[in-house]
Amino acid sequence: MKVVAIHSQKGGVGKTSITLNLAHEAMSYGFETLVIDMDAQGSATFLLGQGSAPRLRAKDWLKSDIDWNSFIETTPYNGVYILPARKGLRKLDRLMSDAVSAKHLKQLLKSLKKQFDLVLIDCPAGINTVTEQAYRAADLVLVPLTPTPLCLQSYADLEDYATREINVEAGNIAPFFNRVNQRLALHRECLGSFAAGQALPPLGWVRSTTLMERMALNKQAVTDSHPEHPVSKDIDELWKAVVRRLDLHHSR
């Protein structure tokens, strides 16, 4: 089982949208997958949740084990499950900060090993104890970037923090571009300057399209509703790059 955290310091860069599409890709390729919504906003829960299971309370995250199956819901995607968020998750940062070890989430996830091939953690924006736990639990941290100078500056800061303060290996943090418009000179410049300054190229890039914005209306990944659209090809390329980087295979 491999764990991927989808995270960025910046809000609104596509963490949840990409999580939904990767979950659909995982289904298409036959990977049993759990999406964990760790954002109190509950956007992934809105898109994938069915409202059928009781919600895990923030304080339950502090326990040494969790009866995952009581809280996990099926989703419209066969073989994809979700641990939904609830608003009380806002307290989790404060609750966790002194109460648990740095690798608490990593330990908790171990009991899922036999059940899932892949866990996708949709993180909140910003850096706090919850996102630190996700970094320590993750085999790969996927970071969506928009091609803007401030977003790139924010990534430089995040990369520095992750590698120096949380000891994430440089190869385990994987930025990729989202909301790219190749017709905009600024976007082309940002893609170029980023590539020049990084040891590894970005894991992929996903074009900007209103189809992605409309996704929340029908709660359907674009790879599901528009499999032949170029944006679905971008996402499929990104998915394949994630699979390669993780050496993901059917583990159960």
Ligand X SMILES: Nc1ncnc2c1ncn2[C@@H]1O[C@H](COP(=O)(O)OP(=O)(O)OP(=O)(O)O)[C@@H](O)[C@H]1O
Scanning residues 137 to 196, which ones bind ligand X (CB under 6 A)? 178-179
Q: Which does 14 bind (CB under 5 to 8 A by kind): ligand X, Mg ion, none?
A: ligand X
Report the C-alpha gap between 146 and 178 in whole angstroms. Answer: 5
Q: What type of residue is 174? A: A
The per-residue DSSP string of 162-188 comes to HHHHS---GGGEEEEEEEE-TT-HHHH
- Pick what 213 binds: ligand X, Mg ion, none; C-beta below 5 to 8 Å, kind-dependent: ligand X
Nearer to ligand X, 43 or 220 (CB): 43
| Least spacing, CB of residue 178 vs ligand X, in Å | 5
Confirm if 109 and 136 have CB atoms less than 8 A apart.
no
Among Mg ion, ligand X, none, the one that 166 touches (CB under a kind-dependent 5 to 8 A) is none
Give Cα separations from 160 to 128, 173, 215 (angstroms): 15, 11, 33
Among 14, 49, 175, 204, binds ligand X (CB under 6 A): 14
Residue 213 found at the interface with ligand X (CB under 6 A): yes
- DSSP, res 2: E
Stretch that binds ligand X, among 6-14, 60-68, 86-94, 186-194 (CB under 6 A): 6-14
Counting residues that bind ligand X (by CB under 6 A) gives: 19
Binding test (CB under 6 A) with ligand X, winner from 140, 212, 221, 248: 212
Both tokens assigned to 139: 């085999």
Instruction: Summarize as ranges the residues that interact with Mg ion (CB under 5 A).
Output: 15-16, 43
